[in-house]
Amino acid sequence: MREPIGSSVGENQVPDAAVPGVLAELRGWLKDIVLAVVIAFLMVVFLYQPVKVEGTSMQPELLDQERIFVNKFVYRLEEIHRRDIVVFWYPKDPSKSFIKRVVGVPGDLVSIRDGQVYLNGERVEERYVPRGYQDADSYPPVRVRAGHYYVLGDHRNASNDSRSWGLVPRKYIYGKAVFRYWPVEKAGFLD
């Protein structure tokens, strides 16, 4: 008597019951991969955006061609603070983005005398600006009006910032620089 086809299992055959198990396993992996891709996409679109630093205006904190993550959501939950490194659309040409450090927030009086920043009449200690990166120029006092920010690059003698073109409207600031991921040996959170 002959066995019906498919009812016996030889050495090189996979049992019929195992095929659905393998397919179920693959389907589970595929779901996990798709879910991971969707979550990563949503994080990039709504929370974190990778950005390449271009230029030297934020040296020594950020060097040309370094890669950072920008938190695009944080300023929906909290205010912009002095010393935050922000990414924003350049007020003179909103098709370009800039990265600078916030020095003055709404209501502050910012002045620069002989390269030293004064905030509301008090000299600001800026440990993030090494001596070789300072300039010796003076600028008249500026009152930061509501909904605007005074920003400066850390490399003061090589930065195009609020000293040149004025305040940054809040609506142009789209994120806070939070983490350097490239080069790997310098990876870590930003001050």
Q: Is 107 left (phi over 0), alpha (psi -120 to 50) or beta?
A: left
Give me 65's structure tokens: 């061609």
Query: Which of the residues 8, 95, 100, 111 is marked catalytic?
Result: 100
100 is catalytic: yes
- Residue 164 phi, psi dihedral angles, 5° rounding: -95, -45
**Set 7, 52, 57, 95: catalytic member:** 57
52 is known as an active-site residue? no
Q: Which helix (H) or strand (E) holds 52?
A: strand 48-52
Supply the residues annotated as catalytic.
57, 100
